[in-house]
Structure formats: structure tokens, C-alpha cells
Amino acid sequence: MRFMMLMIPLGYETAPPDVQLDPERVAAMMRYNEQLQDAGVLITLDGLHPPSMGARVSFATGEPLVTDGPFAEAKEVLGGYWMIEVASRAEAIAWAKKCPASANEVIEIRQVQEMTDFSPDVQEAAAGFAELQKGSRARR
């Protein structure tokens, strides 16, 4: 089963565009990343720039409406994520507990949807998506 571990650093919703990272924290996180890798559970991982550098597109009226960040109403935002392959949700939780996170951080664990989770109709409508991704990656 694939899970996303969503890193939610409280306070990141108001971080400036040039947010500075603490080298010690980066090093501790890298050690954790390496543990995930050594255990063979890591698929991919990324960190995100603060929302003050981002944008939102809302389709509330059917027409796309663009708002530049930061987003006043956001109470929690994503700071980054890991995608892991484990046997169960409990195993995903066990990995999240090992993360050298700070007191202001929360990790949300969410199961990734697989084609086999859906009805045959849905699988047929979405057929070819995995191939598209592979093709696109190959061209990068």
C-alpha cells in the first residue's frame, strides 16, 4: 500500500518567501530520509516553498479565479511530503512517529488511491494514466 506522509508545520502558513532553514534540522531530516530509504519504503519526497510564493485557483463559480498567496484563511498548510510503500496504515504511522519533527509539526498520513480500489467503470475511464506519467517522466 502507498501512503503519503503530509508534513504540516504550524506557522508555515505565514512564512516569508525567503524562509530560512536550520542546517541542523535539515541534517536530522536527511538522516530520517536515509532510514526510510535503507528500509526500502521510500518512493519519493519533496519540500514546498511557503504559500506566500504560491497561488490558489478556485472554481467556485465554474470560472477559474486566481488568488496569490499567502492565504489569510489558511490555518494549516503543507510544508512537504514523503510517499512511502508499506504493508499497512499501522506501519505508516510507526514510520511517522520516528520522524525528528518539532513541537509545531503534524504529520498527516493518507492512503494513496490505487486503480484496484475502484469499480471497473472507473478503471476503464482512467485507463492509461500510469502510462502517461511514465511517458512524461521519460521525456524530462
| Among residues 11, 16, 22, 39, the one that binds other proteins under rule CB under 8 A | 22
Residue closer to other proteins by CB (options 16, 47) is 47
Answer for the pair 46, 109: CB distance below 8 angstroms, yes or no: no
Residues 81-100 that bind other proteins (CB under 8 A): 81, 83, 85, 89, 92-93, 96-97, 99
Angle at CA of residue 114, ends 39 and 30, nearest 5°: 30
Residue closer to other proteins by CB (options 14, 106) is 106
- The cell for 99 is 520522524
If we measure between CA atoms, which residue out of 2, 7, 94, 93 comes closest to residue 43?
2
Residues 23-82 that bind other proteins (CB under 8 A): 23, 26-27, 30, 33-34, 37, 40, 42-49, 51, 53-62, 64, 66, 71, 73-78, 80-81
SS3 6: strand
Distance from C-alpha of 23 to C-alpha of 62, rounded to nearest angstrom:
44
Residue closer to other proteins by CB (options 14, 27) is 27
